[in-house]
Structure 1
Amino acid sequence: MTQALSLDPSTTALVLIDLQHGIVSRPLAPYSGPQVVENGARVAAAMRTKGATVVYVRVPLNELLHLPSDAPMRAPDAPPAPEQASELVPEAGVQPGDLVVSKRQWGAFYGTDLEQHLRRRGIQTIAICGIATNFGVESTARHAFDLGYKLVFVEDATTSMSEEWHRFTVDNVFCRMGHVRTTQQVIDALA
């Protein structure tokens, strides 16, 4: 049984991962990029209205850490991504006063000032969403968990390259790290 969720906006931050042109436009499941952006923007608007911190994380795709692997994310000889691919989509709804953090690896904490921003604001709980569930979102969540943040996962504002990858992470990892809720449940928890 899902327990009731209540979020204190003064100690909660919403962190939206990689809602940018070069990622949102990919084939994704179980939710499309535009669906994730729409739901993330809804949560961000509700959070802002209640005074919570809203953080958008982006990755300059041509600066992303690429180490040798058996299944690289992109071909070693692939041409550089167009500059627009690294820009947040306008539909994500970035507003003045929101934080924008640039990362260069999957997770949003390592090598960025995200933790410093959150600590200075007294953040204790992070609601997290974005693309991809089992890459950038999970990497960021694992680091946040290790740092002692309480976590809320906005399930229908998160997606991956396949429904199977998404479901596995949500059903086997996220539920053990925090609370998994829908967009509407997270908005209602702010009331």
Structure 2
Amino acid sequence: MKLEMEKTALVLIDLQNGIIGHHSAPYTPEAIIERAGELVKAFVAKGGFVVLVRVSTFDGKDMLHPATDQEQSTAAYPDGWDLIVPELATINGTYTMTKRQWGAFHGTDLDSQLRRRGIETIVLGGVSTGIGVDTTAREAFQLGYNQVFVEDVMGAANKEMHDYVCQTIFPRIGKVRSSAEVISYL
């Protein structure tokens, strides 16, 4: 497999201070961030487009609030919870965008940014595997993007959720690979 850099983007979901530590199974947050950093640097070195997606809110009212069976947290967000982890935020040549829900396409300019650059393939990673990454992947699939899922640059609340999505959902809508494999395809 070979990835054409001019038609491929790296999209990393919610690798931010307030989320990565709670959604990293089966890998440690440090391992996910380290491998994500290697991917970002490899993409930037080859002239690739890198999107760091974060979830944030102005006052909580700009986020979704549907009626659900599971009670939603009303805790205040601590300062800096929505900042991309410093190990990635300090790498030059990346585009950071903000979303207000699980998926990175709805209500954002992600699709426009990708299409204007001629992107056909998304290399996707981040947290949580079964929430933000999965929702973004399904949106990308419906928009017609090819996808490569970087399994060892993802994490979930638990190993079972991560494994289920990586073994059951992602193979139906793209290709599942390791970060080392993806770097070798560049």
In the alignment, which residue of structure 1 is the partner of 2:172? Answer: 176
Is contact 2:20-2:29 (8 Å) kept?
Answer: yes
The one-letter code of the counterpart of 2:77 is: A
Matches within 5 A, 1:92-131: 92-131=88-127
Runs of 4+ in 1 over 4 A off after TM superposition: none
How many angstroms apart in 2 are the aligned matches of 1:122 and 1:153?
20
In the alignment, which residue of structure 1 is the partner of 2:30? Answer: 34
Moved more, 144-153 or 90-99: 90-99
The Cα shift of 1:94 comes to: 4.5
In the alignment, which residue of structure 1 is the partner of 2:3? Answer: 7
Unaligned runs of 5+ in 2: none
How many angstroms apart in 1 are the aligned matches of 2:105 and 2:181?
26
TM-score, normalization by structure 1: 0.91
Q: Deviations over 1:144-176 (max 9, x none)?
A: 111110000000001100000000000000011
How many angstroms apart in 1 are the aligned matches of 2:133 and 2:26?
15
Aligned residue among 14, 17, 21 for 1:21 = 17
Identity over aligned residues, as a percent? 43
Is 1:64 the counterpart of 2:63? The answer is yes
How many angstroms apart in 1 are the aligned matches of 2:31 and 2:63?
25
TM-score, normalization by structure 2: 0.93
In the alignment, which residue of structure 1 is the partner of 2:181? Answer: 185
Is contact 1:38-1:92 (8 Å) kept?
Answer: no
